[in-house]
Amino acid sequence: MEKIFVKSAFALCFILFVCVLLCPADTWLESENRYIGKLELSDKSFSDRLPFRTSLMHVNRDISLALGKNEFAGAFFGENGYIFSNEEVSLAVLEKNLAFADELSSVIETHLCVIPSKTDALVSYLPKFYDSMRGELWQVSAKNKNNVSDVLPIILLAANNGKYVYYRGDHHLTALGSYYVYKSLATSLGFAAYGSDAFSVGIVKTNFSGSDARKMLTETGDKIALFRYSGDSRLITENLDSGEKYDGLYDFDKLISNDPYGIFPAPDCGRVKITLGEGRENLLLVCDSYGDSLAPFLARHYDLDIIDPRYYGGSVKDLIKENNYTTALLCFGMDTLAGKEILYKLMF
Amino acid sequence: MTLYSPVFILAFLPTSAVIYRTVPKNFRPQALAAMSLAFYILAAGEHFYLLPILAILVYLLSFAGKKGFFVCLFMFVPLRLFGISALGVSFFILRAAAYIYDGKRERNFFKVFAHLLFFPCVHAGPLASYKDFESGLSRYADFAQMSRGICMALYGAFKKLFFADALYVTFDKFFVGGTSLSAFLALIAYALYIYFDFSGCSDMAVGIASVLGFDLPKNFDFPYMSRSVSEFFRRWHITLGRWLFKYIYIPLGGSKKGSVRAVLSLGAVWLASALWHGTRLSYLVWGMYFFVIAIAEKLILPKGFKIGRLCTFCLVLFGWVFFFSDTPAAAFAFFTRLFCLGETLLYCRADIYNAIRNVPFILLAALFATPLPRRLLNMLYSRARVALYILALPLFCLILSCLVSSGHIPFLYASF
């Protein structure tokens, strides 16, 4: 019996090893939104290639949930089907980023818009007793010298009224959520926001699995809707990283890709321009991915130069000088602004 | 690469075991030395050359007699002073010093090299004597020993990957809280984490060595079940305790030359133990803390008197505060929090959430720190071995599921 056990154990290891060796590099890992890549002599490379990897992850998640942890891979379940992510935020990081935003205001008229993350806004959907303890972050960001657009109340109000302002399984705002941000930006930026009846809303994706849902290895049945308006297809979107250029605001091919949120302009890239070519006012939009779904609304009023400092390698100051920009809108999620030191890049 | 790496489990270990079984008996030391060197190079990273070079030095020093013992221990000093941290260096030095002290002048270099860098033990022991190692070289593991070894290694990996890693995350979660309740739960989580991390690593080492035919001494015997602090350290990191007893306490006179000498010897043991862990002042305070308790138990309390499990557990818990704190000041700040002194709150809303989410897991871990699961496994081994072997498959799947699911915390003791 021992002989069978030992031989079986060795055979199992051998079979798994062969599977690891044979696993192709272009295997897609749904939960991590990436390909496994070339085989290397590393733990990560080996564990990525293990057969039944997803099933094994499900086992681990189910055990975690059964033990009452309610958490897996940095995400946790809230009420009403919402999934939240653990966000590592700190007041010190926020203060540093805001200080750089202040410095930029000496170069250009700067407006700041801090987008609440799901944890900030969907308080009633958080698990019982969960305390994000982020009030102080909002107090600090509200005191910033720049023209701060306080979007938290309007998003909170919409969320409390049961509006679908955040995806259940993704950290981003829905198009509706971005519409509310657009409305609240109008006073600060000085444009007349269009009413909701000036847009036609259409659902373009019904089974969207966002990053939080993928972490939790589940589906939340999210829908991606677009707020279209007449003439939006006349706009030209140009991705200056890839050189790709297309008519209209949306890249519909992305709907069938691994990242359907990429349908919005400027997904994970350094610089994108949206222009109409009719001598409209320019706006420099410096943002993270929260700005992607906001850009279509702003593009109704401005020609946009969208910079994501996480990916943009050039000098923002030079860009402002070269293009004679007069107004910049900094639009970041609180999770980014208090989580990563990125705005120092604006000084170069 | 570590003992729980997929690369190790799926490729290195089976290949090594097959090679080791197939080479002629005369070439086993060479094979084992080559495997250990390969493992060390893959595992150690930046300073991969350090221990192999030291192993050559130790081999040469062993011919210089017992003087080599002190030279060997002093090799440790510059490494500590210059902050050079090679994987497993602390364990290496103890193994090397013991080898020299025992006076075995082995002429076969490969045997000495394989002993000093024996790959199952290189991370965190257990500290086996050269005699134990040499007797393992002379025999093949039979299938019964191999199967026991596989089960032991699986159980060790389960302790490390399922409990220790998650407990560390739990500790971290409570540690950042500012309340008394969070400090208390952080301390419990740390006590369990360090036990599962270290004993899991030791179990894996013993199991893997067993697959190759080596009988290594056990390193843990359910220490949290101890009824006195002295007993705790007889059950915790047993092989280090034995090493300190044999190579420091006894040569310094031990308890046979009066109470004063015994106290001094014990002081030297605790000082050595603290310095072995690191040069941080908090380790010295940790050593001093347990030295005082050990003296109190030895000299003040009546002979045979046990302070009880709960009291021992609490004293050990307080000791861990010095162990995980970077400075004594940080440790005392933690105590201030723990005992709700100053402006510390007793608890907050976030503590309730974290407690609800983590206490069931902590309780499960606490259950596995008792002898009950081991007794159950032993019963299965003796009465229903097939069931135990069948149980190994889901356990293996669970280990794989832990491996694919999240990042892992390196063995704590590998960094000493």
Give me the pLDDT at residue B193, please.
95
pLDDT surpasses 70 at B407: no
Distance from CA of B267 to the nearest CA of A (A): 43
CA pseudo-torsion sign B144, B149, B152, B154: negative
Provide, as residue numbers in chain B, all residues whose Cβ is less than 8 Å from the Cβ of A2. Answer: 142-144, 146-147
> Which of B413, B416, B393, B415 lies closest to B199, judged by CA?
B413
Give me the pLDDT at residue A21, please.
85
Query: What would the mean pLDDT of A165-183 be, rounded to a whole number?
Result: 93
Query: What would the mean pLDDT of A330-345 be, rounded to a whole number?
Result: 87
Give me the pLDDT at residue B86, please.
76
Q: What is the per-residue burial (b if ≥16 Cβ within 10 Å, else e) of A291-308?
A: bbbbbbbbbbbbbbbbbb
What residue of A is the nearest CA neighbor of B2? A43
CB contact under 8 A, B1 and A61: no
Share of chain A above pLDDT 90, in %: 23
Among candidates B18, B356, B385 on the partner chain, residue whose Cβ is nearest the Cβ of A68: B356
Tell whether B275 is within 8 A of chain A (Cβ): no
Helices B385-405 and A2-22 sit at what angle, rounded to 10 degrees?
20
Structure tokens that stand for A64 in this block: 């975690």
Structure tokens that stand for A36 in this block: 């496994």
The Cβ of residue A105 has, within 10 Å, a number of other Cβ atoms equal to 17
Q: Are A300 and A258 in contact (CB under 8 A)?
A: no
Distance from CA of B151 to the nearest CA of A (A): 10
Tell whether A66 is within 8 A of chain B (Cβ): no
CB contact under 8 A, A129 and B352: yes
CB contact under 8 A, B400 and A56: yes
How does residue A251 score in pLDDT terms, banded at 50, 70 and 90? confident
Provide, as residue numbers in chain B, all residues whose Cβ is less than 8 Å from the Cβ of A53. Answer: 404
Provide, as residue numbers in chain B, all residues whose Cβ is less than 8 Å from the Cβ of A1. Answer: 385-386, 389
> Which of B20, B279, B42, B245 lies closest to B136, judged by CA?
B20
Q: What is the per-residue burial (b if ≥16 Cβ within 10 Å, else e) of B238-277?
A: bbbbbbbeebbbeebeeeeeeeeebbebbbbbbebbbbbb
B199-239 per-position pLDDT tens digit: 999 999 999 999 998 989 989 999 999 999 989 999 999 99
Structure tokens that stand for A244 in this block: 């790709």
What 3-state DSSP class applies to B348?
Answer: coil
Residue A319, φ and ψ in degrees, nearest 5 = -60, -40
Whose tokens are 């701060």? That residue is A148
What 3-state DSSP class applies to A228?
Answer: strand
pLDDT surpasses 80 at B82: no
CB contact under 8 A, A6 and B353: no
pLDDT surpasses 80 at B85: no
Provide, as residue numbers in chain A, all residues whose Cβ is less than 8 Å from the Cβ of B398. Answer: 59-60, 63
Provide, as residue numbers in chain B, all residues whose Cβ is less than 8 Å from the Cβ of A22. Answer: none
Among candidates A6, A14, A48 on the partner chain, residue whose Cβ is nearest the Cβ of B146: A6
Is there a catalytic annotation at residue B237?
Answer: no
Structure tokens that stand for A339 in this block: 């989580």
| Burial class of B338 by CB neighbour count within 10 A (0 to 12, 13 to 18, 19+) | buried
Tell whether B404 is within 8 A of chain A (Cβ): yes
CB contact under 8 A, B406 and A41: no
**DSSP one-letter code for B140:** P
The Cβ of residue B120 has, within 10 Å, a number of other Cβ atoms equal to 28
Query: What would the mean pLDDT of A157-176 be, rounded to a whole number?
Result: 92
Residues 6+ apart with CB under 8 A from B416: B90, B276, B277, B278
Distance from CA of B310 to the nearest CA of A (A): 26
Write the CA distances from B80 to A123, B279, B280, B288, integer angstroms: 50, 7, 10, 20
Give me the pLDDT at residue A267, please.
80
Residue B84, φ and ψ in degrees, nearest 5 = -85, 115
Tell whether B401 is within 8 A of chain A (Cβ): yes
CB contact under 8 A, B353 and A3: no
Distance from CA of A18 to the nearest CA of B (A): 9
Best of A1, A2, A87 to disrupt the B interface by mutation (most B CBs within 10 Å)? A2
Residues 98-157 of A with CB under 8 A from B: 127-131, 133
For residues B88, B91, B94 and B96, what is the CA-based torsion angle, rounded to 10 degrees?
Answer: -50
Provide, as residue numbers in chain A, all residues whose Cβ is less than 8 Å from the Cβ of B348. Answer: 131
pLDDT: which is higher, B154 or A129: B154
Distance of alpha carbon A330 from alpha carbon A114, whole angstroms: 8
Provide, as residue numbers in chain B, all residues whose Cβ is less than 8 Å from the Cβ of A67. Answer: 360-361, 364
Structure tokens that stand for B111 in this block: 């045997």
The Cβ of residue A169 has, within 10 Å, a number of other Cβ atoms equal to 23
B291-330 per-position pLDDT tens digit: 999 888 887 877 777 788 899 999 999 999 999 998 999 9
What residue of A is the nearest CA neighbor of B365? A67
A301-318 per-position pLDDT tens digit: 999 999 998 888 888 888
Distance of alpha carbon B339 from alpha carbon B345, whole angstroms: 10
pLDDT surpasses 80 at B414: no
Among candidates B361, B386, B405 on the partner chain, residue whose Cβ is nearest the Cβ of A60: B405
Q: What is the per-residue burial (b if ≥16 Cβ within 10 Å, else e) of B76-104?
A: beebbeeeebbbbbbbbbbbbbbbbbbeb
Q: How many CB pairs under 8 A join A and B?
A: 107
How does residue B413 score in pLDDT terms, banded at 50, 70 and 90? low
The Cβ of residue A131 has, within 10 Å, a number of other Cβ atoms equal to 14
Please tell me which of A128-132, A314-318, B329-333 the model is most confident about, judged by mean pLDDT.
B329-333
Distance of alpha carbon A282 from alpha carbon B332, whole angstroms: 58
Please tell me which of A139-148, A310-319, B131-140, B222-231 the model is most confident about, judged by mean pLDDT.
B222-231
Cis peptide upstream of residue B126 (ω within 30 degrees of 0): yes
Distance of alpha carbon B61 from alpha carbon B39, whole angstroms: 24
Q: Which amino acid is at A337?
A: L
pLDDT surpasses 70 at B175: yes
Tell whether B357 is within 8 A of chain A (Cβ): yes
CB contact under 8 A, B357 and A46: no
CB contact under 8 A, A60 and B348: no
pLDDT surpasses 80 at B350: yes
Structure tokens that stand for B299 in this block: 């000299």
pLDDT surpasses 80 at B394: yes
Please tell me which of A143-152, A161-170, B79-88 the model is most confident about, judged by mean pLDDT.
A161-170
Instruction: Quote ipTM for the complex.
Output: 0.80
Give me the pLDDT at residue B134, please.
85
Query: What would the mean pLDDT of A248-256 be, rounded to a whole number?
Result: 87
How does residue B276 score in pLDDT terms, banded at 50, 70 and 90? confident
CB contact under 8 A, B14 and A47: no
Distance of alpha carbon A222 from alpha carbon B80, whole angstroms: 56
Distance of alpha carbon B219 from alpha carbon B236, whole angstroms: 7
CB contact under 8 A, B357 and A14: no
Catalytic residue among B123, B237, B277, B408: B277
Tell whether A73 is within 8 A of chain B (Cβ): yes
Residue A84, φ and ψ in degrees, nearest 5 = -115, 160
pLDDT: which is higher, B104 or B157: B157
**DSSP one-letter code for A107:** T
Give me the pLDDT at residue A348, please.
67
pLDDT surpasses 70 at B244: yes
Q: Are A141 and A114 in contact (CB under 8 A)?
A: yes
Give me the pLDDT at residue A169, please.
93
Give me the pLDDT at residue A146, please.
65
Structure tokens that stand for A258 in this block: 């691994």
Give me the pLDDT at residue B155, please.
93
Query: What would the mean pLDDT of A283-294 be, rounded to a whole number?
Result: 91
Structure tokens that stand for B22 in this block: 């197939």
A49-103 per-position pLDDT tens digit: 888 888 898 999 999 899 888 888 889 999 888 999 988 888 888 888 888 888 8
Provide, as residue numbers in chain B, all residues whose Cβ is less than 8 Å from the Cβ of A6. Answer: 143, 146-147, 150
How does residue A27 score in pLDDT terms, banded at 50, 70 and 90? confident
Query: What would the mean pLDDT of A316-338 be, rounded to a whole number?
Result: 88
Give me the pLDDT at residue B411, please.
66
Provide, as residue numbers in chain B, all residues whose Cβ is less than 8 Å from the Cβ of A217. Answer: none
